[in-house]
């Protein structure tokens, strides 16, 4: 059993939890993920590690409430326990040997981009962060990005905060302004990563993206997380989750990601009804 030490809503749809998991905390690195179950008969879901404290023995997760399981997770409180918390899984992000990197985060993807930005910064790399949200109310982790970045471009779709526009607009401007990046790291919705990669391809800048596909075991067993990279089938759980964004078939990944959309919507409604009844 894994204790929820702290729970903090970051915005109306995104929650941060600090989980007591000393063995995972001891090995965790930026870019890796965990798999959890929120209840004994629950679904296994993968979440990327948003931070860790080796001394305290805790791991941070940040999740968006999208389906039944994330809703169930969000109904738990400080002091409650998760039955399962497995990790750290996947390969860590490469964060060494860079001089200047642009980190692009979109929505809740910023939670995953942050530890990568922090690790790069800690290794002496100049980090330019481009973070995008739908609107002001959904902005998360602004202070944290400011603390580890030489430059932060805050973007919102509707212009209620920062600059109105997409992350690709800001990244394009940074590149045009003469910034020479060793690498771009983009983490967010698949559609955002696709367009970032289209842009950086034009400039021939190596771009790494982090996939968060449907997954069950997280150890290479189910094959549910497979995606096509450079024409080959890869498993996000053991070959990734980071991949060369210029080789990923994003359209296929988007379709696969929507495989259970109806089921999720249904489960979410079901869970809402359950909460209403209890209330």
Partner 1 sequence: MAEKNMSLKKCPMPSLDPNYRNKVFEEVATGYTYDMAIEEARRCLHCKNKPCVSKCPVQIDIPEFIAKLANEDIEGAFEVINRSSSLPAVCGRVCPQETQCESKCVRGIKGEPVGIGRLERFVADWHREHATEKPTAPASNGHKVAIIGAGPAGLTCAGDLARMGYKVTVYEALHVAGGVLSYGIPEFRLPKAIVNKEVGNLKAMGVDIETDMVIGKVLTIDELFEMGNEAVFIGSGAGLPRFMGIPGESLKGVYSANEFLTRINLMKAYRDGSKTPIRHGKKVAVVGGGNVAMDAARCAKRLGADEVYIVYRRSMNELPARAEEVEHAQEEGIIFKTLTNPVEVLAFNNPDDPRDPRNGEVCGMKCVEMELGEPDASGRRRPIVKEGSEFVLDIDTMIMAIGTSPNPLIRSTTPGLEANKHGCIVTQGEDGLTSREGVYAGGDAVTGAATVILAMGAGKNAAAAIDEYIKSK
Q: Given the rule CB under 8 A, which residues bind partner 1?
A: 23-24, 27, 37, 39, 41-44, 68-69, 72, 83-89, 216-224, 226-228, 233, 235, 238, 249, 252, 255-256, 258-261, 263-264, 267
The minimum distance between CB 182 and partner 1, in angstroms, equals: 27
The minimum distance between CB 251 and partner 1, in angstroms, equals: 8
Q: Considering the complex, state which of residue 164 and residue 261 has its C-beta at the smaller distance from partner 1.
A: 261
Q: Considering the complex, state which of residue 133 and residue 195 has its C-beta at the smaller distance from partner 1.
A: 195
Asked whether 248 and 219 are in contact (CB, 8 A), the reply is no
Q: Considering the complex, state which of residue 98 and residue 214 has its C-beta at the smaller distance from partner 1.
A: 214
Q: Considering the complex, state which of residue 16 and residue 37 has its C-beta at the smaller distance from partner 1.
A: 37
H helices present in the chain, as ranges: 22-27, 68-74, 110-122, 142-148, 167-176, 190-203, 236-239, 250-257, 261-278
Cross-strand pairs, 61: 17, 49
The minimum distance between CB 224 and partner 1, in angstroms, equals: 5
The minimum distance between CB 184 and partner 1, in angstroms, equals: 25
Classify 145 as helix, strand or coil: helix
Tokens of 86: 């497995």
The minimum distance between CB 270 and partner 1, in angstroms, equals: 9
Q: What strands lie across the sheet with 183-187, from one edge to the other?
A: 163-164, 151-156, 126-133, 100-106, 183-187, 207-210, 242-244
Q: Considering the complex, state which of residue 72 and residue 183 has its C-beta at the smaller distance from partner 1.
A: 72
Helices (H) and strands (E) in the chain, counts: 9, 16
């Amino acid at each position: 059993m894994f204790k929820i030490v702290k729970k903090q809503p970051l915005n109306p749809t995104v929650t941060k939890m600090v989980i007591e998991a000393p063995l995972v905390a001891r090995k965790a690195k930026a870019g890796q993920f965990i798999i959890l179950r929120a209840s004994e008969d629950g679904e296994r879901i993968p979440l990327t590690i948003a931070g860790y404290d080796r001394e305290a023995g805790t791991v941070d997760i940040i999740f968006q409430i999208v389906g039944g399981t994330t809703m169930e997770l969000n109904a738990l409180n400080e002091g409650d326990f998760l039955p399962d918390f497995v990790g750290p899984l996947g390969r860590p992000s490469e964060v060494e040997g860079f001089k200047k990197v642009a980190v692009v985060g979109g929505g809740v993807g910023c939670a995953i981009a942050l530890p990568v930005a922090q690790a790069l910064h800690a290794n002496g790399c100049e980090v330019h962060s481009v973070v995008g949200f739908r609107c002001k109310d959904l902005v998360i982790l602004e202070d944290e990005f400011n603390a580890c970045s030489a430059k932060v471009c805050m973007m919102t779709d509707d212009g209620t905060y920062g600059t109105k526009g997409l992350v690709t607009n800001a990244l394009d401007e940074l590149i045009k302004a003469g910034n020479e990046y060793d690498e771009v790291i983009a983490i967010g919705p698949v559609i955002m990563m696709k367009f970032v990669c289209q842009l950086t391809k034009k400039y021939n800048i190596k771009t790494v993206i982090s996939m968060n596909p449907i997954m069950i075991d997280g150890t290479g067993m189910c094959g549910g997380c497979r995606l096509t990279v450079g024409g080959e089938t890869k498993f996000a759980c053991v070959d990734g989750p980071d991949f060369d964004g210029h080789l990923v078939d994003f359209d296929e990944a988007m379709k696969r990601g929507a495989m259970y959309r109806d089921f999720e919507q249904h489960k979410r409604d079901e869970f809402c009804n359950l909460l209403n009844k209890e209330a």
